Amino acid sequence: MSAKKKLEFNRKQKLLKRRQQKLTSYYKNRSKTNTEYTYTITKEATKKREYRAKKAGKKEKENTRKRNYRQAMKSKHITQNTLEDRDIFKNVFNNRTTKHRAIKRLKNALPRTPKRRSATLAAYLQHTKSPAVEILRQAEVVSSPEDLMNMSIEKAALEDIKTAIESCKTKRSKDSFLSMNVLVASISGEKITETRCRKNLAKKLGLPVRRLSRGNRNRTTILKSEKSCWAYVCRKTRKDALSEETKRLAYNFWMKPGISRPTDVTLCNKEDQVHKIACLKRDCGECGVNKLELLTEETDDLDTAQIVKWEKFEKVDIKVKGNKTIKKLVLVKKETKAVELFSHFLELLKSFPLHQHRATWQKQTIPNITY
Ligand SMILES: [Zn+2]
């Protein structure tokens, strides 16, 4: 058939189709009288009206579809990371049209009803020997039997961890605090960070995200150090503030025989192995910080006084991520007359005995509280 004849044939076909449509429409609406119509019913007007209605309907439908899609994505927290992004399926087709045609061919080849379609596809995807199915499994588009098994194991494990956490979370004993830390540290590692699913995991376990992040920090910093994770989590140490050496130096100094403790010097003698509460609160008339005798070099405020280097803890504003500032306790270097150091020391000594007494008491008592 030549091109010209083909064109004529097509035109004729179109005309016939249109005539058929008109006829059906005529028979369908034959019983209606003209009074039922309020619109102009000229051929042109009807045609235009139909066209407009069709266009509006199409637009509305498309808008609804887009809106629904966006909402679904939002609720699922899915970024539009579709199959196209997977390397394995990249550049398989030359262009989108070829791909579209291929999909269309597949659709046409499949049975009509959704049930039969899905049954056919499911049966096809169970073909373990098919290379295409193998690729799909590798790309995790469909799950292999092993994947399904793993998934059920993971689900069960997660449930069990959740139960364990639930029971530890509410208890305040030292043991449950420890096991809680170990639990959290064990499920929050490099893989979770890598796959960026910490938020979802936290939601699944019913924990705040910050809790998991802390677990991760414990794990990454402590598991790699010589001290074990267990030793670290049992007590939060201020490793930012004091080095091990400084701590040891201070400890050795105060444990030396013959050292009179400034706390003991400025308090009355103990009764029943504890100081009187009035002394601790510095309400006692018999004792006080003025009982601590200082040397003249330590109280000298003259211009000739010796300058000493010392450090003191101060709360300092520190800039962190996200343009925020936080207060952090840091050692600040000072270079002043000795008198300034000692007046600061006396100031601390005023409140220290009560603070220490309270801390010791809490440390002894709190872990032994039972509900
Ligand atoms: Zn006293």
Tell me, in angstroms, the distance from the centre of ligand 1 to residue 282's CA: 7
Nearest to 267 by CA among 278, 255, 254: 278
Instruction: Tell whether ipTM is more than 0.90.
Output: yes
Q: Which two tokens stand for residue 79?
A: 């970024």
Mean pLDDT over 66-88 rounds to 68
- Burial pattern 265-275, b for ≥16 Cβ within 10 A else e, equals ebbeeeeeeeb
Residue 185: Cβ within 10 Å count: 23
The CA-to-CA distance between both ends of the chain, in Å, stands at 95
Residue for token pair 């706390």: 263
Tell me, in angstroms, the distance from the centre of ligand 1 to residue 283's CA: 8
Q: What percent of the chain has pLDDT over 70?
A: 87
Tell me, in angstroms, the distance from the centre of ligand 1 to residue 267's CA: 5
State yes or no: pLDDT of 74 exceeds 50. Answer: yes
Tell me, in angstroms, the distance from the centre of ligand 1 to residue 268's CA: 4
Tell me, in angstroms, the distance from the centre of ligand 1 to residue 257's CA: 24
Break the chain into its structural domains and give their ranges.
148-233, 262-361
* Average pLDDT value for the chain: 82
Tell me, in angstroms, the distance from the centre of ligand 1 to residue 278's CA: 7
State yes or no: pLDDT of 9 exceeds 60. Answer: yes
Average the pLDDT over each of 35-39, 112-116, 161-165 and give the range with the smallest value.
35-39
Mean pLDDT over 190-214 rounds to 80
Tell me, in angstroms, the distance from the centre of ligand 1 to residue 332's CA: 33
* Measured distance CA(107)–CA(93) in Å, rounded: 17
pLDDT of residue 78: 56
Question: What would the pLDDT profile of 321-368 be if each residue is shown by its tens digit?
Answer: 888 888 888 888 999 998 999 999 999 999 998 998 888 888 888 777
Tell me, in angstroms, the distance from the centre of ligand 1 to residue 357's CA: 15
Mean pLDDT over 58-76 rounds to 88
Tell me, in angstroms, the distance from the centre of ligand 1 to residue 183's CA: 48
Tell me, in angstroms, the distance from the centre of ligand 1 to residue 279's CA: 4
Angle at 116 between CA 112 and CA 119, to 5 degrees: 145
In this prediction, residue 117 has a pLDDT band, given cuts at 50, 70 and 90, of very high
Residue for token pair 């601590």: 292
Tell me, in angstroms, the distance from the centre of ligand 1 to residue 277's CA: 9
Tell me, in angstroms, the distance from the centre of ligand 1 to residue 272's CA: 14
Mean pLDDT over 250-257 rounds to 76
Strand partners, 333: 311
* Measured distance CA(327)–CA(202) in Å, rounded: 27
Q: What percent of the chain has pLDDT over 90?
A: 21
How many helices (H) and strands (E) in the chain? 16, 2
**Nearby residues of 327 by Cβ (< 8 Å), 6 or more positions away:** 315, 316, 317, 318
In this prediction, residue 371 has a pLDDT band, given cuts at 50, 70 and 90, of low
Residue for token pair 């979770």: 192
DSSP-derived 3-state class of residue 228: coil
